[in-house]
Amino acid sequence: MSERVIIFDTTLRDGEQSPGASMNAGEKMRLATQLEKLGVDVLEAGFPAASTGDFEAVSDIAGKLKHTEVAALARTSKEDIDRAWSAIKHAVKPRIHTFIATSDLHMHYKLNMTKEEVLKTAVEAVKYAASFTDNVEFSAEDASRSDRDFLCKVFETAIEAGATTINIPDTVGYAIPEEFSELTKYVIAHTPNIGKAVVSVHCHNDLGLATANTIAAVTSGARQAEVTINGIGERAGNTSLEEFVMAMHTRPNYLPLSSNINTELIYPTSRLVTMITGIIVQPNKAIVGANAFAHEAGIHQDGVLKNPMTYEIMKPETVGLSASKLVLGKHSGRHALRSRLKELGYDLSDEELKLVFKKFKELADKKKHVVDEDLEVIVTEGILRTTDTFRLEYLHVTCGTTVIPTATVKLAINDRPAQGAGYGNGPIDAAFDSIAKLTGTESELLRFSVSALTGGTDAQGEVTVRLKENGLIALGRGADPDIITASAKAYINGLNRLEYLKDHPVDATEGL
């Protein structure tokens, strides 16, 4: 019988620290409920001390989830721990996660503290957290660059103080798998009371080794893996949940370990994270990328037709990709729509379904078949963005080789109508200029990318933008059969995210 690895998902905390990947309260709740369905054991809902918005989101999630442990991150200060506990105390299974750096580099330059001071601070923080709950996790930030004997001493005293999980973070993605394996074994062998705690690992992907390092650690005795959907996170990201889980699932002979993850919900959850954050998964991404199960070479196609296992080491259905899809069109009814949405992981209320059905019919009038990706766009735009400051009401553009590109735009700004016109180097530039004037914003466009959601000439175009204003960065995403309209939607979505960030300032937080 295989041993179980605890899956600790930090998409809502470390994942949200990806530049521009801010989420509003509704989006966080939607993702949290999906992660519970996916089967994650622990969900790190956020960093309550960072902002009022983060506190409220963590508190709402803690009150909503019925089975999953809800963790809140806190620095080693009583104020942070008080804030964390206030946010999660009503959860079915609350966890306080506190941390302090232990590497010489961080202690000297960042904390300006001695080893003795760090040790004392860690013990006091864990003891204080343990006065609220017996579910306390302690992390030694930058553990992979810490003195091993000091690291073991910190962990020993943290466990004595009440920590039930100790976490070994590779904070800057510096470790090599063999090295990280040895570190995990060393900690287990040289921490006298290690049997009283679960050993966890939290890896970053700066060298592209996060998943490999996590696998190395669990094969060396760690029994909790800290991961994110699509591997999103600070800098190059974190260990990818889908990669780690499917490695165990596909190679049980080498990894006799298991998890509670319902693998058939991996792809729908991945898509939901993409839709909410605007961070596109690269086509060649393992497990959930568009090309993960695509075969173009003739010899590969021939082999797959004869036996899929010749070039596919897992069935697409295992991660939630199905070859047989219910075809939806303009004659489809609400029952068929609700059924397909449930299969995609969206369990909507009657009122939400009413809104989505209206949008679905509008799109079905424009294209012959509405596919899953289209439905995801409808749900995201129809349900998750209902409190936006800016909303597109009307767009008309004029362009060509003999005219100056112009755009006429009508917006709803806090539900009040506003309209205007502008011109630019092209129709999209003109539309952006008009929108900027109406909204009174001065954001800088850092990135603009276009892709098709599906094949076919009637496919919806998907546009992603990255905007910067007053030091804040936000991603915007929009989709529409008309690429200019999709661009306007993406720009407005980005502006709305910037407005959210302005209204919900987040303190600069340290990643583990």
C-alpha distances in angstroms, 308 versus 204, 290, 301, 439? 33, 17, 9, 53
pLDDT band at 335 (very low <50, low <70, confident <90, very high): confident
Fold of 3-277: TIM Barrel (3.20.20)
* Domain ranges for the chain: 3-277, 295-322, 390-503
**Chain segment 157-187, per-residue pLDDT in tens:** 999 999 999 999 999 999 999 999 999 999 9
In this structure, are strands 406-413 and 390-398 parallel, antiparallel, or unpaired?
Answer: antiparallel
Q: Span 390-503: which CATH code?
A: 3.30.160.270
Q: How high is the pLDDT of residue 312?
A: 65
pTM of the model: 0.86
When pLDDT is averaged across residues 445-470 and rounded to a whole number, the result is 85
pLDDT band at 303 (very low <50, low <70, confident <90, very high): low
90 SS3 class: coil
Q: How high is the pLDDT of residue 279?
A: 86
Q: How high is the pLDDT of residue 342?
A: 80
- Residue pair 102/141 in contact by the 8 Å Cβ criterion: yes
- DSSP letter, residue 243: H
- Residue pair 5/248 in contact by the 8 Å Cβ criterion: yes
**Chain segment 442-455, per-residue pLDDT in tens:** 999 999 999 887 77
**Chain segment 251-302, per-residue pLDDT in tens:** 999 999 999 999 999 998 998 898 888 888 888 899 988 777 764 445 444 5
C-alpha distances in angstroms, 286 versus 141, 201, 261? 28, 21, 17
340 SS3 class: helix
In this structure, are strands 224-227 and 198-203 parallel, antiparallel, or unpaired?
Answer: parallel
pLDDT surpasses 90 at 329: no
pLDDT surpasses 90 at 205: yes
pLDDT band at 154 (very low <50, low <70, confident <90, very high): very high
Q: How high is the pLDDT of residue 360?
A: 85
Q: How high is the pLDDT of residue 300?
A: 45
Lowest mean pLDDT among 187-196, 319-328, 473-482: 319-328
**Chain segment 100-142, per-residue pLDDT in tens:** 999 999 999 999 999 999 999 999 999 999 999 999 999 999 9
pLDDT surpasses 80 at 308: no
Q: How high is the pLDDT of residue 301?
A: 44
Query: What is the C-alpha end-to-end distance of the chain, expressed in Å?
Result: 33
Q: How high is the pLDDT of residue 502?
A: 84
Angle between helices 78-88 and 115-130 (to 10 degrees): 30
| Residue-averaged pLDDT of the chain | 89
When pLDDT is averaged across residues 143-147 and rounded to a whole number, the result is 98
When pLDDT is averaged across residues 313-340 and rounded to a whole number, the result is 75
Lowest mean pLDDT among 138-152, 329-343, 390-404: 329-343
Q: How high is the pLDDT of residue 245?
A: 98
pLDDT surpasses 80 at 1: no
Q: What is the token pair recorded at 500?
A: 């959210």
Q: How high is the pLDDT of residue 350?
A: 87
